[in-house]
Amino acid sequence: MIDSKAVGRIIDKYDQTKLAIGTLGSHSSLNIFKGAKEEGFRTVCICKEKDVIMYQKYPLVDELIIVKDFTELLNEKLQEHLRNLNVVLIPHGSFTAYLSTEQLTDNLNVPMMGNRQLLHWEANRKSQEEWLRQAGLRLPATFQSPDDIDRLIIAKLQGAKGGRGYFLANSPKSFYKKADEMIKRGLITKEDIDKIHLQEYALGVNVYPSYFSSILNDDVELLAMDRRYESAVDSIGKIPAQEQLEIDVIPTYTVVGNFPIVLRESLLPEVMRMGEKVHKKARELAPPGIIGPFCLETVITDDLKIYCFEISARIVAGTNVGIGTSPYAYLRYGENMYMGRRIAMELKEAVKQKRLHEVVA
Protein backbone atom coordinates (compact mmCIF):
# COMPACT_ATOMS: atom_id res chain seq x y z
CA MET A 1 0.00 0.00 0.00
CA ILE A 2 1.35 3.35 -1.02
CA ASP A 3 0.59 5.51 2.01
CA SER A 4 0.30 9.25 2.35
CA LYS A 5 3.86 9.43 3.70
CA ALA A 6 5.24 7.90 0.51
CA VAL A 7 3.17 10.24 -1.64
CA GLY A 8 4.24 13.14 0.58
CA ARG A 9 7.89 12.32 -0.12
CA ILE A 10 7.20 12.40 -3.85
CA ILE A 11 5.48 15.77 -3.83
CA ASP A 12 8.17 17.22 -1.57
CA LYS A 13 10.54 16.63 -4.48
CA TYR A 14 8.12 18.16 -6.99
CA ASP A 15 8.59 21.61 -8.42
CA GLN A 16 5.12 22.75 -7.40
CA THR A 17 5.39 25.89 -9.50
CA LYS A 18 5.42 23.55 -12.51
CA LEU A 19 2.75 21.11 -11.37
CA ALA A 20 1.09 19.22 -14.24
CA ILE A 21 -2.30 17.54 -14.37
CA GLY A 22 -2.28 14.12 -15.96
CA THR A 23 -4.74 11.37 -16.71
CA LEU A 24 -5.50 8.45 -19.02
CA GLY A 25 -6.81 9.50 -22.41
CA SER A 26 -10.44 8.46 -22.15
CA HIS A 27 -13.64 8.76 -20.07
CA SER A 28 -13.56 12.40 -18.85
CA SER A 29 -10.07 13.40 -19.98
CA LEU A 30 -11.22 16.35 -22.13
CA ASN A 31 -13.21 17.67 -19.18
CA ILE A 32 -10.14 17.33 -16.93
CA PHE A 33 -7.66 18.79 -19.44
CA LYS A 34 -9.85 21.76 -20.38
CA GLY A 35 -10.24 22.58 -16.69
CA ALA A 36 -6.51 22.21 -16.14
CA LYS A 37 -5.68 24.55 -19.03
CA GLU A 38 -8.17 27.14 -17.85
CA GLU A 39 -6.49 27.17 -14.46
CA GLY A 40 -3.06 27.50 -16.06
CA PHE A 41 -1.67 23.97 -15.60
CA ARG A 42 0.44 21.92 -17.97
CA THR A 43 -1.30 18.71 -19.03
CA VAL A 44 -0.05 15.19 -19.59
CA CYS A 45 -2.10 12.52 -21.32
CA ILE A 46 -1.35 8.79 -21.34
CA CYS A 47 -3.07 7.75 -24.50
CA LYS A 48 -3.58 4.96 -27.02
CA GLU A 49 -2.54 5.62 -30.61
CA LYS A 50 -6.07 5.20 -31.94
CA ASP A 51 -7.38 7.98 -29.69
CA VAL A 52 -4.74 10.62 -30.47
CA ILE A 53 -7.17 12.32 -32.86
CA MET A 54 -9.13 13.61 -29.85
CA TYR A 55 -6.17 15.64 -28.67
CA GLN A 56 -5.39 16.88 -32.16
CA LYS A 57 -8.91 18.14 -32.66
CA TYR A 58 -9.00 19.55 -29.13
CA PRO A 59 -5.45 20.70 -28.44
CA LEU A 60 -5.57 20.59 -24.65
CA VAL A 61 -2.58 18.36 -24.01
CA ASP A 62 1.01 19.53 -23.62
CA GLU A 63 2.60 16.12 -23.32
CA LEU A 64 1.17 13.07 -25.02
CA ILE A 65 2.53 9.71 -23.90
CA ILE A 66 1.51 6.91 -26.24
CA VAL A 67 0.96 3.45 -24.74
CA LYS A 68 -0.32 0.19 -26.20
CA ASP A 69 -2.37 -0.55 -23.14
CA PHE A 70 -3.41 1.46 -20.08
CA THR A 71 -1.80 -1.15 -17.82
CA GLU A 72 1.52 0.37 -18.89
CA LEU A 73 0.75 2.94 -16.23
CA LEU A 74 2.19 0.35 -13.84
CA ASN A 75 5.52 0.52 -15.65
CA GLU A 76 8.16 2.04 -13.34
CA LYS A 77 9.88 3.90 -16.22
CA LEU A 78 6.62 5.56 -17.20
CA GLN A 79 5.90 6.48 -13.59
CA GLU A 80 9.35 8.01 -13.27
CA HIS A 81 8.67 10.05 -16.37
CA LEU A 82 5.39 11.27 -14.87
CA ARG A 83 7.09 12.21 -11.60
CA ASN A 84 9.76 14.11 -13.53
CA LEU A 85 6.94 16.08 -15.13
CA ASN A 86 5.53 16.88 -11.65
CA VAL A 87 2.30 15.10 -12.52
CA VAL A 88 -0.70 14.76 -10.25
CA LEU A 89 -2.97 12.09 -11.74
CA ILE A 90 -6.73 12.53 -11.81
CA PRO A 91 -8.35 9.09 -11.53
CA HIS A 92 -11.47 8.38 -13.56
CA GLY A 93 -13.51 5.37 -14.62
CA SER A 94 -10.84 3.95 -16.92
CA PHE A 95 -8.39 3.63 -14.01
CA THR A 96 -10.61 1.13 -12.22
CA ALA A 97 -11.74 -0.46 -15.48
CA TYR A 98 -8.19 -1.32 -16.61
CA LEU A 99 -6.34 -1.65 -13.31
CA SER A 100 -7.24 -3.56 -10.18
CA THR A 101 -7.76 -1.87 -6.83
CA GLU A 102 -4.56 -3.51 -5.57
CA GLN A 103 -2.56 -2.24 -8.53
CA LEU A 104 -3.87 1.25 -7.92
CA THR A 105 -3.13 1.23 -4.21
CA ASP A 106 0.16 -0.69 -4.30
CA ASN A 107 1.85 -0.12 -7.64
CA LEU A 108 1.11 3.40 -8.72
CA ASN A 109 3.89 5.57 -7.36
CA VAL A 110 2.55 8.81 -8.72
CA PRO A 111 0.47 11.24 -6.64
CA MET A 112 -3.25 11.02 -7.36
CA MET A 113 -5.92 13.48 -6.43
CA GLY A 114 -8.26 11.43 -4.28
CA ASN A 115 -8.21 9.04 -1.34
CA ARG A 116 -6.66 5.67 -2.25
CA GLN A 117 -8.00 4.00 0.89
CA LEU A 118 -11.55 4.52 -0.28
CA LEU A 119 -10.88 2.42 -3.36
CA HIS A 120 -11.18 -0.64 -1.17
CA TRP A 121 -14.53 0.52 0.19
CA GLU A 122 -15.71 1.15 -3.32
CA ALA A 123 -14.36 -2.04 -4.82
CA ASN A 124 -16.96 -4.55 -3.75
CA ARG A 125 -20.70 -4.30 -3.47
CA LYS A 126 -20.88 -5.41 0.16
CA SER A 127 -18.47 -2.86 1.61
CA GLN A 128 -19.84 -0.14 -0.61
CA GLU A 129 -23.32 -0.92 0.61
CA GLU A 130 -22.13 -0.84 4.21
CA TRP A 131 -20.63 2.60 3.63
CA LEU A 132 -23.80 4.02 2.08
CA ARG A 133 -26.12 2.40 4.59
CA GLN A 134 -24.08 3.58 7.57
CA ALA A 135 -24.13 7.05 6.06
CA GLY A 136 -27.90 6.92 6.46
CA LEU A 137 -28.88 6.79 2.80
CA ARG A 138 -31.95 4.95 1.57
CA LEU A 139 -30.79 1.81 -0.22
CA PRO A 140 -32.81 -0.78 -2.09
CA ALA A 141 -33.28 -3.83 0.15
CA THR A 142 -30.92 -6.72 -0.46
CA PHE A 143 -31.66 -10.42 -0.22
CA GLN A 144 -29.20 -12.99 1.10
CA SER A 145 -30.69 -15.94 -0.71
CA PRO A 146 -32.83 -16.31 -3.84
CA ASP A 147 -35.33 -18.13 -1.61
CA ASP A 148 -36.04 -14.87 0.22
CA ILE A 149 -37.13 -12.95 -2.87
CA ASP A 150 -40.59 -11.48 -2.21
CA ARG A 151 -40.70 -8.56 -4.68
CA LEU A 152 -39.17 -7.41 -7.94
CA ILE A 153 -35.38 -7.66 -7.71
CA ILE A 154 -32.41 -7.00 -9.95
CA ALA A 155 -29.74 -9.71 -9.87
CA LYS A 156 -26.28 -8.24 -10.37
CA LEU A 157 -23.03 -9.99 -11.08
CA GLN A 158 -20.00 -9.16 -8.97
CA GLY A 159 -17.95 -6.41 -10.54
CA ALA A 160 -19.83 -6.48 -13.84
CA LYS A 161 -19.75 -3.27 -15.81
CA GLY A 162 -22.63 -2.10 -17.90
CA GLY A 163 -25.18 -4.44 -16.48
CA ARG A 164 -24.35 -7.29 -18.87
CA GLY A 165 -25.81 -10.48 -17.49
CA TYR A 166 -28.08 -8.70 -15.00
CA PHE A 167 -31.64 -9.89 -14.87
CA LEU A 168 -34.89 -9.25 -13.05
CA ALA A 169 -36.98 -11.71 -11.04
CA ASN A 170 -39.90 -11.41 -8.65
CA SER A 171 -39.96 -14.75 -6.80
CA PRO A 172 -37.57 -17.60 -5.96
CA LYS A 173 -39.18 -19.59 -8.76
CA SER A 174 -38.71 -16.91 -11.41
CA PHE A 175 -35.15 -16.35 -10.16
CA TYR A 176 -34.09 -19.98 -10.63
CA LYS A 177 -35.84 -20.20 -13.97
CA LYS A 178 -34.15 -17.04 -15.29
CA ALA A 179 -30.78 -18.01 -13.84
CA ASP A 180 -31.02 -21.36 -15.63
CA GLU A 181 -31.88 -19.68 -18.90
CA MET A 182 -29.02 -17.21 -18.54
CA ILE A 183 -26.57 -20.05 -17.90
CA LYS A 184 -27.89 -22.02 -20.84
CA ARG A 185 -27.53 -19.00 -23.11
CA GLY A 186 -23.95 -18.58 -21.91
CA LEU A 187 -24.56 -15.11 -20.48
CA ILE A 188 -23.53 -16.08 -16.95
CA THR A 189 -21.85 -19.05 -15.27
CA LYS A 190 -22.84 -21.25 -12.34
CA GLU A 191 -20.11 -19.57 -10.26
CA ASP A 192 -21.67 -16.16 -10.99
CA ILE A 193 -24.89 -17.38 -9.37
CA ASP A 194 -23.10 -18.18 -6.10
CA LYS A 195 -21.79 -14.64 -5.87
CA ILE A 196 -24.80 -12.88 -7.30
CA HIS A 197 -26.10 -9.75 -5.58
CA LEU A 198 -29.87 -9.59 -5.17
CA GLN A 199 -31.24 -6.12 -4.82
CA GLU A 200 -34.76 -4.77 -4.68
CA TYR A 201 -35.61 -3.15 -8.00
CA ALA A 202 -36.38 0.51 -7.37
CA LEU A 203 -38.95 1.52 -9.94
CA GLY A 204 -38.30 5.10 -10.93
CA VAL A 205 -36.00 7.36 -12.90
CA ASN A 206 -32.22 7.38 -12.67
CA VAL A 207 -30.51 10.51 -11.41
CA TYR A 208 -26.76 10.85 -10.93
CA PRO A 209 -25.76 13.86 -8.81
CA SER A 210 -22.06 14.73 -8.83
CA TYR A 211 -20.37 16.44 -5.93
CA PHE A 212 -17.00 17.92 -5.16
CA SER A 213 -15.60 17.40 -1.69
CA SER A 214 -13.21 20.23 -0.97
CA ILE A 215 -10.73 19.34 1.75
CA LEU A 216 -9.37 22.88 1.66
CA ASN A 217 -12.77 24.48 2.32
CA ASP A 218 -14.19 21.57 4.33
CA ASP A 219 -17.29 21.58 2.16
CA VAL A 220 -19.23 19.31 -0.19
CA GLU A 221 -20.47 21.11 -3.30
CA LEU A 222 -23.22 19.89 -5.61
CA LEU A 223 -21.81 20.62 -9.07
CA ALA A 224 -23.55 18.55 -11.73
CA MET A 225 -26.37 16.17 -12.45
CA ASP A 226 -26.99 13.79 -15.31
CA ARG A 227 -28.67 10.67 -16.45
CA ARG A 228 -27.29 8.05 -18.76
CA TYR A 229 -28.30 6.99 -22.22
CA GLU A 230 -28.02 3.24 -22.02
CA SER A 231 -28.06 0.69 -24.78
CA ALA A 232 -30.06 -1.48 -25.04
CA VAL A 233 -32.36 -0.72 -22.10
CA ASP A 234 -33.31 2.78 -23.30
CA SER A 235 -34.42 1.44 -26.66
CA ILE A 236 -36.61 -1.41 -25.47
CA GLY A 237 -39.62 0.90 -25.19
CA LYS A 238 -39.49 1.41 -28.96
CA ILE A 239 -40.44 -2.20 -29.50
CA PRO A 240 -44.06 -3.15 -28.83
CA ALA A 241 -44.53 -5.57 -25.92
CA GLN A 242 -45.62 -8.34 -28.26
CA GLU A 243 -42.33 -8.26 -30.18
CA GLN A 244 -40.35 -7.93 -26.97
CA LEU A 245 -41.77 -11.25 -25.86
CA GLU A 246 -41.09 -12.84 -29.22
CA ILE A 247 -37.43 -11.86 -29.42
CA ASP A 248 -36.92 -12.45 -25.69
CA VAL A 249 -34.97 -9.24 -24.97
CA ILE A 250 -32.55 -9.08 -22.10
CA PRO A 251 -31.80 -5.49 -21.15
CA THR A 252 -28.18 -4.39 -20.85
CA TYR A 253 -27.04 -1.02 -19.56
CA THR A 254 -24.08 -0.04 -21.73
CA VAL A 255 -23.60 3.69 -21.37
CA VAL A 256 -23.48 5.44 -24.73
CA GLY A 257 -23.81 9.00 -23.50
CA ASN A 258 -25.33 11.27 -20.86
CA PHE A 259 -28.04 13.90 -20.58
CA PRO A 260 -27.99 16.84 -18.19
CA ILE A 261 -30.77 16.94 -15.61
CA VAL A 262 -32.21 19.82 -13.67
CA LEU A 263 -33.85 18.33 -10.63
CA ARG A 264 -37.15 19.42 -9.18
CA GLU A 265 -35.99 21.98 -6.64
CA SER A 266 -37.78 20.41 -3.68
CA LEU A 267 -35.52 17.37 -4.07
CA LEU A 268 -32.29 19.34 -3.84
CA PRO A 269 -32.04 19.62 -0.04
CA GLU A 270 -32.07 15.84 0.34
CA VAL A 271 -29.62 15.36 -2.52
CA MET A 272 -27.29 17.86 -0.85
CA ARG A 273 -27.61 16.19 2.54
CA MET A 274 -26.87 12.80 0.96
CA GLY A 275 -23.56 14.12 -0.35
CA GLU A 276 -22.68 15.53 3.06
CA LYS A 277 -23.52 12.27 4.83
CA VAL A 278 -21.53 10.07 2.48
CA HIS A 279 -18.45 12.25 2.91
CA LYS A 280 -18.90 12.37 6.69
CA LYS A 281 -19.04 8.59 6.87
CA ALA A 282 -16.04 8.30 4.57
CA ARG A 283 -14.11 10.52 6.95
CA GLU A 284 -14.67 7.91 9.67
CA LEU A 285 -13.87 4.96 7.43
CA ALA A 286 -10.80 6.44 5.79
CA PRO A 287 -9.72 9.92 6.87
CA PRO A 288 -9.90 12.59 5.50
CA GLY A 289 -12.86 11.12 3.58
CA ILE A 290 -13.57 11.79 -0.05
CA ILE A 291 -11.08 14.08 -1.74
CA GLY A 292 -12.50 15.80 -4.81
CA PRO A 293 -15.26 14.52 -7.11
CA PHE A 294 -17.76 11.78 -6.36
CA CYS A 295 -21.11 10.67 -7.72
CA LEU A 296 -24.12 8.87 -6.29
CA GLU A 297 -26.17 6.59 -8.52
CA THR A 298 -29.79 6.97 -7.56
CA VAL A 299 -33.31 6.06 -8.56
CA ILE A 300 -36.14 8.42 -7.63
CA THR A 301 -39.54 6.79 -7.33
CA ASP A 302 -42.95 8.35 -7.99
CA ASP A 303 -43.43 9.02 -4.27
CA LEU A 304 -40.19 11.04 -4.51
CA LYS A 305 -38.08 8.68 -2.45
CA ILE A 306 -34.43 8.73 -3.43
CA TYR A 307 -32.77 5.31 -3.48
CA CYS A 308 -29.00 5.14 -3.82
CA PHE A 309 -27.53 1.97 -5.31
CA GLU A 310 -23.91 2.84 -6.02
CA ILE A 311 -21.15 5.38 -5.43
CA SER A 312 -18.12 6.40 -7.47
CA ALA A 313 -15.50 8.21 -5.40
CA ARG A 314 -14.02 9.93 -8.44
CA ILE A 315 -15.08 12.00 -11.42
CA VAL A 316 -17.80 10.31 -13.49
CA ALA A 317 -18.26 10.77 -17.23
CA GLY A 318 -21.70 12.23 -16.53
CA THR A 319 -20.00 15.46 -15.48
CA ASN A 320 -18.97 15.86 -19.14
CA VAL A 321 -22.44 17.28 -19.74
CA GLY A 322 -21.30 20.28 -17.69
CA ILE A 323 -18.14 21.14 -19.69
CA GLY A 324 -18.60 24.87 -20.04
CA THR A 325 -21.27 25.31 -17.43
CA SER A 326 -23.72 23.16 -15.53
CA PRO A 327 -26.60 24.94 -13.78
CA TYR A 328 -25.42 23.68 -10.42
CA ALA A 329 -21.84 24.83 -10.96
CA TYR A 330 -23.24 28.13 -12.23
CA LEU A 331 -25.28 28.64 -9.06
CA ARG A 332 -22.14 28.31 -7.01
CA TYR A 333 -19.42 29.82 -9.19
CA GLY A 334 -21.05 31.71 -12.04
CA GLU A 335 -20.07 31.09 -15.63
CA ASN A 336 -17.67 28.56 -16.97
CA MET A 337 -17.32 26.20 -14.03
CA TYR A 338 -17.45 22.42 -14.32
CA MET A 339 -15.91 19.39 -12.65
CA GLY A 340 -12.62 19.34 -14.58
CA ARG A 341 -12.00 22.96 -13.77
CA ARG A 342 -13.09 22.60 -10.16
CA ILE A 343 -10.46 19.86 -9.74
CA ALA A 344 -7.75 22.13 -11.16
CA MET A 345 -8.92 25.01 -8.98
CA GLU A 346 -8.53 22.92 -5.85
CA LEU A 347 -5.02 21.83 -6.86
CA LYS A 348 -4.03 25.42 -7.61
CA GLU A 349 -5.37 26.62 -4.28
CA ALA A 350 -3.67 23.73 -2.47
CA VAL A 351 -0.31 24.74 -3.94
CA LYS A 352 -0.94 28.35 -2.99
CA GLN A 353 -1.80 27.41 0.61
CA LYS A 354 1.08 24.90 0.74
CA ARG A 355 -1.46 22.11 1.40
CA LEU A 356 -0.95 19.94 -1.69
CA HIS A 357 -0.21 16.89 0.51
CA GLU A 358 -3.77 17.10 1.88
CA VAL A 359 -5.45 16.60 -1.49
CA VAL A 360 -3.27 13.88 -2.99
CA ALA A 361 -2.78 10.28 -1.94
Ligand X SMILES: Nc1ncnc2c1ncn2[C@@H]1O[C@H](COP(=O)(O)OP(=O)(O)O)[C@@H](O)[C@H]1O
Among 51, 181, 234, 310, binds Mg ion (CB under 5 A): 310
Query: Which residues, including other chains, have CB under 8 Å from residue 17's CB and lie 6 or more apart?
Result: 351
Q: How many other β-carbons are positioned within 10 Å of the β-carbon of residue 239?
A: 14
Q: Which of 126, 123, 128, 68 is nearest to 97 (CA)?
A: 123
Which one of the spans 13-21, 27-35, 49-57, 158-166 is the region binding ligand X (CB under 6 A)?
A: 158-166
Residue nearest to Mg ion (CB): 310
- Total residues contacting ligand X by CB under 6 A comes to 17
Rounded CA-CA distance 259/134 in Å is: 30
Q: Quick one: what does residue 202 bind among Mg ion, ligand X, none, with the CB cut-off 5 to 8 Å set by partner type? A: ligand X
Which one of the spans 142-150, 184-192, 198-206, 329-337 is the region binding ligand X (CB under 6 A)?
A: 198-206
Could you say whether residue 140 binds ligand X (CB under 6 A)? Answer: yes
Q: Which of 344, 351, 360, 359 is nearest to 33 (CA)?
A: 344
Rounded CA-CA distance 331/143 in Å is: 41
Could you say whether residue 51 binds Mg ion (CB under 5 A)? Answer: no
Cβ-based nearer residue to ligand X, 73 or 308: 308
User: Residue 112 Cβ, how far from Mg ion at the closest point, in Å?
Assistant: 21
Rounded CA-CA distance 168/146 in Å is: 12
Cβ-based nearer residue to ligand X, 9 or 161: 161
Q: Which of 237, 215, 164 is nearest to 356 (CA)?
A: 215
Cβ-based nearer residue to ligand X, 169 or 361: 169
- Helix pair 268-285, 125-134: axis angle to 10 deg: 110
Which 289-308 residues touch ligand X, going by CB under 6 A? 297, 299
Which one of the spans 117-125, 230-238, 258-266, 310-318 is the region binding Mg ion (CB under 5 A)?
A: 310-318
Q: How many other β-carbons are positioned within 10 Å of the β-carbon of residue 36?
A: 30
Q: Read off the amino acid at residue 212.
A: F
Q: Read off the amino acid at residue 304.
A: L
Could you say whether residue 163 binds ligand X (CB under 6 A)? Answer: yes
Rounded CA-CA distance 44/33 in Å is: 8
Which one of the spans 34-42, 51-59, 89-97, 153-161 is the region binding ligand X (CB under 6 A)?
A: 153-161
288: preceding bond cis by omega (within 30 degrees) = yes
Among 206, 231, 252, 254, binds ligand X (CB under 6 A): 206
Q: Quick one: what does residue 130 bind among Mg ion, ligand X, none, with the CB cut-off 5 to 8 Å set by partner type? A: none
Cβ-based nearer residue to ligand X, 44 or 321: 321
Q: What residues make contact with ligand X under the rule CB under 6 A? A: 140, 154, 156, 160-163, 199-202, 206, 253, 297, 299, 309-310
